[in-house]
Structure 1
Amino acid sequence: MATRIEHVLTYDAPAADVAAMLSDKAFRDQVCVDMRTVSHSVSIEGGVDAKKVVIEMEQPTEGVPGFAKKFVGATTTIVQSEDWKSPTHGDIHVTIPGKPGEMVGTAVLTEADGVTTETVKLDITVRIPLVGGKIEDLIGGLLIKALKSENRTGRAWLAR
C-alpha cells in the first residue's frame, strides 16, 4: 500500500511562463541550491513543449528519526526523472538508488486568469516490513517541504 500526497504550487504567471521556467536548467539548479543539497546535477533534454528532466541530488538527513536513519544514512541520493509530453503535463518518477522505495505520479499545470497552479500528485512506496508506512509518511513530509521550497524559488524566479 502506498502513501499518496497531493500538493498545489501557485504562480502569478501564465502557464507558458511556468512551463518555460520548468524547462530552464538554471532554474532547476537554483531550486537545488535553495534546498541546500550537498551536491546535485541537472540534465534537460528537449524544450518547453516536451522534455525529459533528470535531477540527481544528495541531501543531508539531519533531523530524520533514528528508525529511518538506518534506511537513508547521513546523506541520501535522490534521482528525480520527469517526462513532459506537453508543456502542461509531466510524469514523475523518483528513486533512492539502492533503497527499496520509489515515488510515482504527475505534475499538471493549469492556468486561470493569468495565475498558474502546478498540482503534484505522488504515490510513495517503501517496501520495508513494519516501518515502511512510517518511512512513507516521513518522506511525504519531506517532499511537501521540498515542494514549498521550489514554489518560493519559482515565485522569485518569475518575479525577476
Structure 2
Amino acid sequence: MSRRLVHELIYDAPAAEVAAMLADPAFRQAVCDFQGVLRADISITTPSQGHTEVVIDQWQSTSGIPSFAKTIVGDETNVVQAESWSTPLLGDIVVTIPGKPGDIRGTATLSESGGTTTETVDLAIKVGIPLLGGKIEALISTLLLKALKAENKVGRDYLSR
C-alpha cells in the first residue's frame, strides 16, 4: 500500500515566472532556510533545451517527530529531493531518505489561467516497514504538506518582489 498526497500551490504570476522561480537556486535555498533545514546542497542543471534537473540534498532535524519514527531516522535525517522537469510545466519528483526503506514519487504540473498559476503536486508515499509503514506514511504525508505550504509562502513572497 501507499498513501497519496495531492496539493495545489497557487501563485499570482504567469506559469513562465513560476517555472523560472522553481529553477532558481536562490529560491530553493530560501525555502530550505524558511523550513529550518540544517544544511542543504542544491544543484540545478539544464541538460537540454526546456529540460531542468533539480536536486536538493538536505539534512533536517527530527525534533518533534513521534518516537516510533525517531528510532528509525535518528536525531537528524538526510532527505534527497530530485525533480526532472521534462518541460517547464511538467516535472517528475522522487524523494528518498538514503539508507531508509521507502520513497516518494509523483509529479508537479503548472497550469495558468488568467495570469494565476497553479502548481499541482501529486505524490505517492511508500514505506516498506511491516506494521509501522502506514503510520510512517501518514507522518510523512503530514510533514510533506507542511513543507509544500512553506514552499508556497516563500514562493508568493519571491514572486511579489
TM-score interval, normalised by the smaller of the two chains = over 0.9
Match of 1:118 in 2: 119
- Match in the other structure for 2:84: 83
Distance in structure 1 (CA, Å) of the matches to 2:9 and 2:91: 15
Which deviates further from its counterpart, 131-140 or 46-55?
46-55
Change (3 A) 1:84 1:30: same
Q: Structure 2: state its 5+ residue gaps.
A: none
What CA deviation, in whole Å up to 9, does each residue of 1:129-151 have, x standing for no partner?
00000000000000000000000
Counterpart in the other structure of 2:8: 8
Please state whether the residue corresponding to 2:50 is helix, strand or coil: coil
Deviation at 1:101, TM superposition (A): 1.1
**Cα distance, 1:48 vs. partner?**
8.2
* Number of aligned residues: 160
- In structure 1, stretches of 5+ residues that fail to align are none
Question: 2:108 — aligned with what?
Answer: 107
Shift of 1:70: 1.1
Give the equivalent residue in structure 2 for 1:73.
74
Q: Sequence identity, in percent?
A: 55
> What TM-score do the two structures reach when normalised by structure 1?
0.98
The equivalences for 1:148-159 within 5 A come to: 148-159=149-160
> C-alpha separation between the residues in 2 aligned to 1:152 and 1:90?
20
User: What is the TM-score when the length of structure 2 is the normalising length?
Assistant: 0.97
* Stretches (4+) displaced over 2 A: none
Separation of aligned partners in 2, 1:59 and 1:6 = 23
Distance 2:55 2:38 in 1: 17
Aligned-residue offset at 1:72: 1.5
Kept in 2: contact 1:22–1:28 (CA 8 A)? yes
